[in-house]
Amino acid sequence: MPVSQTVCAGLAGALASVAMKPEVNVLGLSIKTFGVCFAMGFLVSGAIVMRRLRELGKPADYAYEITFAALAGGLVGARGYYVIQNYDQVKHDLLGSIFSGSGLVWYGGAIGGALAVLAWARWRGMLNLALLDLACIPLAMGYAIGRVGCQVSGDGDYGIRSSLPWAMPYPHGTVPTTAAVQPTPIYESVAMGLLAWALWRLRDRYRPGVLFAIYLVGSGIERLLVEFIRRNKEVLAGLTAPQVESIVFALIGAGALAYATRRGGLARGDGTAATT
């Protein structure tokens, strides 16, 4: 192995050993780092929603209600999706598995959170395409922060074995491995963070619904690609379940963009530019 690769591999291993902290002790209390990142994701997402509501002339306090609805629905959806996906493993202790503190699936959380937010929006009279645009930026940013939690806790979301210089082991993770693997949580954090930034820059340039369609395409492509170097099982035509779901979401987004283009174009008619 070349010296440069040896050095990079050594640095990656050292970084994994030092930075990986599934839990930390604070005043005698054991706190899960994934839970900290999970909470941070909701706090940041709530702050984004609050600023956007102010820009749109809506009550800023709605941000608390939206965030709570998304949190409650997301937790139920993420846990329920995991139980359904792993039914053969949890059926012997179904009740205990439902209320277990581990096992959350992003797509289940997204579906559950979306349903809860839609119910809230109907109650508040905000059930329209603009709501989707309001939600897509915090969704992307929340996902990026959540993957930081996956990286720090080493919860098994890492990728396949790799000899790349930046590949790293997760020896102290919740799901440990001493083999050098693709640090896919880092890839996803960077990709979704950039998507969130791009969506924020574009938030005032397009007609209602277009921004959310862009989010569906971008996030769908991101997950489709990263799954090729992750460890999930193939379920259909050589694709994993997240890949199939990602293709569906990306196609829905692409279809929405094509429809909007035919119905008068994507840009706002008043030429409003994105604010910063």
pLDDT tens per residue, the chain (276 residues)?
454 444 444 444 444 444 577 887 777 777 888 888 888 998 999 999 999 999 999 999 999 999 899 888 888 887 777 666 665 665 565 545 544 545 566 667 778 888 899 999 999 888 899 999 999 999 999 999 999 999 998 888 899 999 999 999 999 888 899 999 999 999 999 999 999 999 999 999 999 999 999 999 999 999 999 999 997 888 888 899 889 999 999 999 999 999 999 988 898 875 444 443
Alpha helix ranges (H) inside 169-209: 184-201
Q: Closest Cα to residue 216, out of 148, 135, 123, 155? A: 135
Give backbone dihedrals phi and psi of 161, rounded to 5 degrees, phi first.
-55, 145
Show the tokens assigned to 257: 């963009």
How far is the C-alpha of 79 from the C-alpha of 15, rounded, in Å? 31
Cα 72-75-81 angle, rounded to 5 deg? 135
Show the tokens assigned to 114: 């979306």
How far is the C-alpha of 35 from the C-alpha of 212, rounded, in Å? 27
Residue 113 has a pLDDT of 84
Residue 205 has a pLDDT of 94
Q: Closest Cα to residue 89, out of 74, 78, 100? A: 100
Phi-psi region of 237 (alpha: psi -120 to 50; beta: other; left: phi over 0): left
The CA dihedral of 114, 120, 122, 128, to the nearest 10 degrees, is: -50
Contact indicator for 149, 20 with CB cutoff of 8 Å? no
Q: How far is CA 220 from the centre of its chain?
A: 11
pTM: 0.81
